[in-house]
Chains A and B, each alone.
Chain A
Amino acid sequence: MKSNHEKEEYIEVWEDVVHIKDLVLSLIICSVTTMGAYLLAPDDATKSLVFGLIGTVIGFIICSIIIKPKRTFEYVDEEE
């Protein structure tokens, strides 16, 4: 899903560029893991919140692995 990204294919959402398909994928993954964990948690207000947060973290990790950041990063030396 990353190889077919051509140049100039990203749109800007909240100050950074994203690919629409990856964004949709990420929204779905995080929603499913978060809500899934929340709803599966034992019936206790605090536990369900903790489960939900863990679900969010899991979703975040999955997305970070399967989606590549749309940035190139390099250090430049100070030239002055």
Chain B
Amino acid sequence: MDVTLIVQMIIAAVLGTAIYTIIGIAPGTDETAVLAPVTLVLVLAGLEPIIILTFFIAAIVAKKLTDSIPVAVAGIPGGVMAAPMVEHAMVLKKYGLPDVSIRKMASGSVIGTIVAVPVSLLLASLLAPFGEGIAEYAGPIFFGGAIFLAIMSKNRWLALATILPFAILIQGLRHLYWGIGIIPEDKTVFTSFFLGITIGPIILKLFELLNRDIREKLPRHSKKEIKVKKQSQVKGFPNPFKILDKKEVKTASIASFTGVLTFFMSPVGITIFLGEVFTKHIKDPVKRASRAISSMDGLTNATYISGTLIPLIAIGLPLSPTAIGPAIALFQAPPVLTEEHNLHHLLSMNEFVFATVIGAVIAIGLTYYITVKYSQQICAFVFKYIPHEALLGVFFGLVLMLAYRDAGWLNIAGVLLIGLVAGTLHRWGVNYGVQFMVLYAAPWMLGLFV
């Protein structure tokens, strides 16, 4: 490997970090929506595959670090994967500790990265010989995941009962679009349905506001008073192992390790599930919440990295939710990359390791520093100047655009429909994890009835 290439990789990592540090802070930026198109452009522009991988890894690490910020300050996930943390971050916000939650989450993220990179690379090389066998069973694996998460959830019978109807809704819309010819038969609507599920609870609420009776019965509030405890500036370079206490480090590491092993499952689902398992026994609400967010952030970061690297290295097919979403351009970007000719075939193990390490180290070095050092200033700014209405508006606008982009005007109504159903299910206690798994498994499930 020559020096020019290494310099190019470093530049790519710095650029990826800078861009996605900003995008990560912007609330409601769906990972797939913001990562896939940019990566696609780089692939189509003909950059070296190893440079693209470096860029991508830096981007996801940076984005995962900063998407905790809107969760902590506004309870709005900076990305889909930050959604499960909202509940716990709200607890810390209530106690006037939003900046603590940012620091804990960012530190959890760093641990997630440190654990995930080596474990993913190792697991990938172990799995490589079985790659082809696994690839055949993507459908049943996702279906099994949906059943598993449903059984693990609080309302298991309800969750189980909704799996097939929800799959019918998703495939029904797809077949409708194919049937009336608004999208070609070889294209499957995915991103906007994904978003529809994500913002389901908000869509449901907005529809409810249209109903006069419900609107008038809604509880009214006065202005929200936020008091933040002034904290001393973190001196020197922040150290994640000091910001987190020993137990938090341990839980975050175990959670991250588990996240790597379950790379093929919905990261959101696994995060919710493990977050509950690891914190159920803690009584003190503040301790419980900070343990939960640090381990969840580590976990989402780990599933992200493993979900990209393991299918890429071992299988060559996008066989994880991350791979089929944000990382899709590394697997398939015709005419440059195809299923038979993508990063799996183009890069050696050493190159994978090298690109991943450069990307991750640069992203952590830059973004972790900014996030931890200035979390309080960032919080203060957001609280004072950013109205919640504007954030909801942005989210809504993005969903409209991506719905239109996927399948035209009709799909906006389609996504609203999915949002209504998903939002209702969510309110009843069917968590995101089950819903995402169904989204992935739907084509296979309905194929069983043919």
| A residues apposed to B, CB below 8 Å | 7-20, 22-23, 25-27, 29-31, 33-35, 38, 46, 48-49, 52, 55-56, 59-60, 63-64, 67-78
B175-199 near A? 1/0 per residue, CB < 8 Å: 0000000000000000000000000
Q: Quick one: closest A residue to B382, CB to CB?
A: A69
Near A by CB (< 8 A), chain B positions 47-95 give 74-76, 86, 90
Q: Does B126 contact A (CB under 8 A)?
A: no
Check A46–B37 contact: CB distance below 8 A: yes
Q: Measured between C-beta atoms, what is the minimum distance from B47 to chain A in Å?
A: 15
| Neighbouring B residues of A9 by C-beta, 8 Å | 220, 222
Q: Does B284 contact A (CB under 8 A)?
A: no
Check A18–B392 contact: CB distance below 8 A: yes
Q: Measured between C-beta atoms, what is the minimum distance from B427 to chain A in Å?
A: 13
Check A30–B394 contact: CB distance below 8 A: yes
B366-406 near A? 1/0 per residue, CB < 8 Å: 00000000000000100111111111111011101100110
Q: Does B238 contact A (CB under 8 A)?
A: no
Check B223–A17 contact: CB distance below 8 A: yes
In the bound assembly, the distance between CA atoms of A34 and B209 in angstroms comes to: 23
From B86, B383, B388, B400, residue with most partner A Cβ within 10 Å: B388
Q: Quick one: closest A residue to B37, CB to CB?
A: A49
Shortest beta-carbon contacts, A-B, top 7: A15-B75, A30-B393, A26-B393, A34-B397, A63-B390, A30-B397, A26-B389
Q: Quick one: closest A residue to B76, CB to CB?
A: A14
Q: Quick one: closest B residue to A9, CB to CB?
A: B220
Check B397–A59 contact: CB distance below 8 A: yes
| Neighbouring B residues of A64 by C-beta, 8 Å | 385-387, 390
| Neighbouring A residues of B206 by C-beta, 8 Å | 13, 27
The B interface, classified by DSSP as helix, strand, loop or mixed, is helix
Q: Measured between C-beta atoms, what is the minimum distance from B30 to chain A in Å?
A: 12
- Beyond A26-B389, A31-B397, A31-B400, list 7 extra A-B contacts (CB 8 Å): A11-B219, A13-B205, A15-B74, A38-B405, A56-B394, A63-B393, A69-B385
| Neighbouring B residues of A67 by C-beta, 8 Å | 387, 389-390
Q: Number of B residues whose C-beta is below 8 Å from A?
A: 49
Q: Measured between C-beta atoms, what is the minimum distance from A77 to chain B in Å?
A: 6
Check B226–A71 contact: CB distance below 8 A: yes
| Neighbouring A residues of B391 by C-beta, 8 Å | 60
Q: Measured between C-beta atoms, what is the minimum distance from A50 to chain B in Å?
A: 8
Check B390–A73 contact: CB distance below 8 A: no
| Neighbouring B residues of A31 by C-beta, 8 Å | 393, 396-397, 400
Check B401–A17 contact: CB distance below 8 A: no
| Neighbouring B residues of A11 by C-beta, 8 Å | 209, 218-221
In the bound assembly, the distance between CA atoms of A72 and B404 in angstroms comes to: 37
Check B37–A17 contact: CB distance below 8 A: no
Q: Quick one: closest B residue to A56, CB to CB?
A: B397
Q: Quick one: closest B residue to A50, CB to CB?
A: B37
In the bound assembly, the distance between CA atoms of A72 and B222 in angstroms comes to: 10
Interface CB pairs A-B, < 8 A, 22: A9-B222, A12-B219, A13-B202, A14-B202, A15-B86, A26-B390, A26-B393, A27-B392, A30-B390, A30-B397, A31-B397, A31-B400, A34-B400, A38-B405, A55-B397, A59-B393, A69-B388, A70-B223, A72-B224, A74-B226, A75-B229, A76-B228
